Structure 1
Amino acid sequence: MYRPPLPRLLCAALLILLLAPAAASALPRANPVPGGVALVAIEAPGATAPKAWYRERRIMVLPDGTSSGRWFAVVGIALDAEPGTHRVESELADGRRETLEFLVVSKEYASQHITLKDTRKVTPPPEDLARIRDETPRIKAALRHWSDSDLVQTGFILPVEGVVSGNFGLRRFYNDQPRSPHSGLDIAAPAGTPVQAPAAGTVVETGDFFFNGNSVFLDHGQGLVTMYAHMQEIRVRPGERVRQGDMLGLVGSTGRATGPHLHWGVSLNDARVNPELFLPETTAKKPE
């Protein structure tokens, strides 16, 4: 694995800290770790937003909230990203291109062991595997959805009040069998509790999926998609536009769940990132 020399690492780390000024409060909080978000500054005078790409995928670009001509590439970093120097390609309105670097810092996530009585949800039989294969392309397409938008609301509110029962990034074991890291935030709440949109968006997919149960996917623009799983009931339809605070459905325990809760996921440029970075502060109660 490539490791840049120490002086360059220190410079990159300082750059990341400087790229999140207090004035840009609408931007997600920078935390350049696997499963986090990096804010990379692009100097582009004028009102036309530059374009940017990371790992050959288009990424979000937002203004810094001042008249300085500075924009930010908002980069979602996948959970399996290697620590070290990463690169963003930018293109200004006049066609000029530039390569910008940022540092991804390593992070170790905790483990969680979950016991399920329904062993089908741990080792699905052939008929369930066929259903999962049919559902997977729909889920992937929703999570990587891109729509151009100049008005992206990245200042989120919590989709449901409750207790955090599963933190983002946990290395999960179901009945002692290792599975993919936890790609969202679990918030436990009584069945039937309303689930609200944390920000304005458009419903791009809904459905009852094998693992995720009743789920809704919201497109917020520029590669920012949020997911709401295990719901008891869905109250929106694909193509519907919702405002911040509108009801999406009700908390439930459908799919692979041990009790009523909401799995809330955030996908940014098709990378699953920590939803808490989009909150001004986490108001859900932490586990005791």
Structure 2
Amino acid sequence: MLLLKRFLLFAGLFISMVGACAELSLTGPLVQGGMVVGRSTPGTLVTLDGVPVRISATGYFVLGFDRDQAAESLLKLRFPDGRVETSRLKIEKRSYDIQHIDGLPERKVTPEKIDYERIRRESAEISRARDRDDPRTDFLSGWIWPVEGPISGVYGSQRVLNGKPRRPHYG
């Protein structure tokens, strides 16, 4: 009888663990600058490091990690039945290309006032585009290259112009 009770207890724990694991799947690299597609029970509330994450009606969501993301992120899920599960995600450090370019004309390194106006305007447009938050799930279809040709910069890469570090590429 004791053996049967232990078996049932173990089986119950195993089934509940499998059930919990089945309610969250993550696909993609847990790495600085990485993007992960997640899926959970529809209606689940998801946060990453305390920031709410939009989840689709079918349970899909996207996690994006900063270029210099900390070594650990906290993923919290509050399921429709009220249960809360927390996962500590280990984020792998990533190295980025840093290109040093010397001998440039000063205007290319320190823009003039007219250039700053254009830079501010373009930065505001980029911010508005990145602030967009809607229920689309286009990310599930995968990505395509926008054009063919040389790649001049990849996410996270950085240039040092005449010894002055510039902002990393976040495109």
The aligned amino acid for 1:54 is: L
Which secondary structure state, in structure 2, belongs to the residue aligned with residue 87 of structure 1?
strand
Cross-structure match for 1:226: none
Q: What is the aligned-residue identity percentage?
A: 29
How far apart are the structure 2 equivalents of 1:51 and 1:152?
A: 19
Q: 1:79 aligns with which of 67, 71, 75?
A: 67
Cα root mean square deviation, aligned: 3.3
The correspondence for 2:115, drawn from 128, 143, 155, is 128
- Tell me, which stretches of 5 or more residues in structure 2 are unaligned? 1-20
Provide the secondary structure at the position in 1 that maps to 2:133.
Answer: coil
How far 1:146 sits from its partner (Å)? 0.3
Unaligned runs of 5+ in 1: 1-14, 21-28, 65-70, 184-264, 266-288
**Do residues 37 (structure 1) and 24 (structure 2) align?**
no
Q: Does 1:90 align with 2:77?
A: yes
Greater Rg by CA: 2
Q: Which among 49, 55, 59 is matched to residue 53 of structure 2?
A: 59
* 1:164 CA drift (Å): 2.9
1:155 offset after TM fit, Å?
0.8
State which drifts further: 97-106 or 144-153: 144-153
Whichever structure has more helix as a proportion of its residues is 2
CA-CA distance at 1:174 after TM superposition: 2.2
Closer, same or farther: CA 154–144 of 1 in aligned 2, 3 Å: farther
Q: CA deviation at 1:151?
A: 5.9
Q: SS of the residue aligned with 2:119?
A: helix
2:128 aligns with one of 141, 145, 161: 141
Amino acid at match of 1:50: T
Which of 113, 117, 122 matches 2:100? 113
Distance in 1, matches of 2:169 and 2:122, equals 19
Once the two structures are TM-superposed, the CA of residue 167 in structure 1 deviates from its matched residue by 3.2
CA-CA distance at 1:102 after TM superposition? 0.9
**Across the two proteins, how many residue pairs are aligned to each other?**
149
Query: Using the alignment, how far apart are the partners of 1:58 and 1:121 within structure 2?
Result: 39
Aligned to 1:178: 165
TM-score norm. by structure 1 comes to: 0.43
Q: Which amino acid aligns with 1:37?
A: M
Is the CA contact 1:53–1:89 (under 8 Å) kept in the aligned structure 2? Answer: yes
C-alpha distance 113-150 of structure 1, shift in aligned 2 (>3 A): closer
In structure 2, the residue corresponding to 1:164 is in which secondary structure?
A: coil
